[in-house]
Structure 1
Amino acid sequence: MKIPVLLTMLLLCALTGHTQQLDAIKYPNGYLYFHTYGSGAPVIVLSGGPGNSCLQQEEVAIALGKKYRSILLEQRGTGLSVPVPFDSTTINLQAAMDDLNRLLQHLRLKRAVFYGHSWGAMLAMSFAANYPDKVKALVLADPGYYKFSADLLTTHVNNLRARLGASDVVLIDTLDKKINEGKGSKADSALYTKTIRLAYIYNKSLIDSMLTKINGPKTNLLMQQLMVNDLRRVHYDLSKNLFHYKGPISIIAGSQDPLAFYTYELKVIRPDIKLYWIQAAGHFPMFEQQAAFDQQLLSVMDTAVKYP
């Protein structure tokens, strides 16, 4: 697939009323795209997934762009950043970290502050553990797994089920079986996604408006599966090497996030981590409690960018 070159193109986005810059970095397997908002101290913004569009965290990038140079990466395998070939040789954890090195080199940055949500937090922590001198500070939102294990996966799934009503649990089990047997329709998949997402948010009545923000452009499921397979292959476990990174780590999380136990266990691994909780919010506090989240994020970021 041929990717068009878009270098130093200024875009005026009428929907959000902000100016952004879209750039691309050429590398052997294609182009790596990123968006820049604002100016000042650089902050790399990494969206969740894996496989989600970077636009899921665009509102966060815009908020940061009011004070900083906010750089929102279209991670390899998402959006316009489509590698050739698109397989396990190009979609893996090391390739994702290589892209962060490419981004820093292209921007002529020796190091930067990294913000990441969910999977983006996992990637940011992995990069910090492997390239500690290139990370000034980590500001994370509702981080996902710090390691892959059957026990953690069971806890994750059970936490989701505990936050659903009895009829919802029956529905997702029925749909899951139907989809896995190859009998599910697009409507079944959409209903499954909507039902399981209920467990990730605090105010269930907002599910439809939340889905628009959470899902955004369609998730690249192939990228997601390839990355998950690689995390299993490399026995992903930050508890073994996160100590290589000595800089500050701050985590902002929804108090009702079903994945909050990952945050608590990260605090055990790194007692110096600073935690900030957003009430009445699940896994996406930047959507459910945007004003409170943005206020806390900017406060934390003010300290992070000043770290020597």
Structure 2
Amino acid sequence: MDGIVSKINGVSLWHITQGQGIPMVLLHGGPGAYDYLEPIADMLDNRYKVIRYEQRGSWRSEKKGPYDVETFIDDLEHLRLHLGIDKWVVCGHSWGASVGLAYTVRYNCQVKALIYISGTGINPAWHIDYRINRLENMSFDEREEYTQLRSIVNQMSGIEREHTRNRIRELSLRADLFNKNNFSMLPRVDGQFVNNEVNQKVDCNEYLESDEFRNEVISSITAPVLLVHGEVDPRPYKYVKELASNLKNSEFRLISQSGHYPWLDNPTTLGKLIHDFVARKVTGI
């Protein structure tokens, strides 16, 4: 399946649809990564009409700003309208989970359910715990290299700085894994994990961790929400559990022996959690 590119909200976005049934859109991480969620789509397309797309600035989509949370939300809504979908299930991973949460705040009436995989929650305290956990998940040599590169990267420029940033990101991604042998299966295009320009320009923390946004999340989301997290993801699950406790209609599920990419470590459990949740909360089975 090759997908198509359509003009959506003033930018060319790559998207693809597979399967039949309840519409479900998948939101990849980043910011500035690309669609790596085909494994999740493949476990769901026997029951759902699964839509995947690449956010603006990502690989097969147009590299055109602005790159900010509000624009990513608008892009997603315009994609829904372009596809002629009334309501859909929104399923995001990592940064995509945050986009899905923000989209649901604004377009709650268009969301049948939200599935929030490997997110961070909305409490800014998660950053400190994450940095500690990330280092603890590295080997001694990785930790030494990571710390050293972080201390000098801002003194670099050009290609040297770009290569160093990519190496820092690679070390960080290794810490995300429960099974380190899955590193070769992590998403990248031509050796790149993300579009660094997009990743640096999206000031998601200012938007997603503001008091205003937290209040909107708590007060406005009525759609059912499933929050799924890997037990050894360095992003601490206690903040995702805290988010779940503040939502009106939510369920938090922890997947054991799983890191930031639960479809790599425990795909059967992830698939079952999603199927069971949608069956109960959306189709009423």
Interval of TM-score (by shorter of Structure 1 and Structure 2) = 0.7 to 0.9
In structure 2, the CA distance between the partners of 1:140 and 1:222, relative to structure 1 (3 Å rule), is same
Name whichever of 163-172 and 122-131 sits farther off: 163-172
Match of 1:140 in 2: 116
Equivalent runs, 1:49-60 vs 2, <5 Å = 49-54=30-35, 56-60=36-40
For residue 119 of structure 2, give the secondary structure of its aligned residue in structure 1: coil
| TM-fit CA distance, 1:43 | 0.3
Distance 1:104 1:121 in 2: 17
Match of 2:51 in 1: 71
Distance 1:287 1:156 in 2: 21
Match of 1:8 in 2: none
| TM-fit CA distance, 1:252 | 1.8
AA aligned to 2:179 is N
Match of 1:46 in 2: 27
Match of 2:201 in 1: 226
In structure 2, the CA distance between the partners of 1:290 and 1:27, relative to structure 1 (3 Å rule), is closer
Distance 2:122 2:47 in 1: 30
How high is the TM-score relative to the length of structure 1? 0.81
- Asked if residue 24 in structure 1 is aligned to residue 29 in structure 2, the reply is no
Match of 2:242 in 1: 265
Aligned length: 278
In structure 2, the CA distance between the partners of 1:166 and 1:202, relative to structure 1 (3 Å rule), is same
AA aligned to 2:47 is K
Distance 1:160 1:231 in 2: 19
Alignment equivalent of 1:215, drawn from 188, 195, 214: 188
Alignment equivalent of 1:298, drawn from 251, 265, 275: 275
Match of 1:241 in 2: 216
In structure 2, the CA distance between the partners of 1:286 and 1:178, relative to structure 1 (3 Å rule), is same
Asked whether the 8 Å contact 1:163–1:199 carries over to 2, the reply is yes
Distance 1:115 1:231 in 2: 20
Name whichever of 213-222 and 246-255 sits farther off: 213-222
Name stretches of at least 5 consecutive residues in structure 2 with no aligned partner: none
Asked whether the 8 Å contact 1:93–1:231 carries over to 2, the reply is no
Match of 2:156 in 1: 182
| TM-fit CA distance, 1:216 | 5.0
| TM-fit CA distance, 1:175 | 1.6
Asked whether the 8 Å contact 1:111–1:135 carries over to 2, the reply is yes
Asked whether the 8 Å contact 2:221–2:247 carries over to 1, the reply is no
AA aligned to 2:185 is T
Equivalent runs, 1:86-97 vs 2, <5 Å = 86-87=64-65, 90-97=66-73
Name stretches of at least 5 consecutive residues in structure 1 with no aligned partner: 1-10, 12-19
Distance 1:220 1:274 in 2: 33
Distance 1:191 1:240 in 2: 37
Name whichever of 168-177 and 280-289 sits farther off: 168-177
Asked whether the 8 Å contact 2:154–2:161 carries over to 1, the reply is no
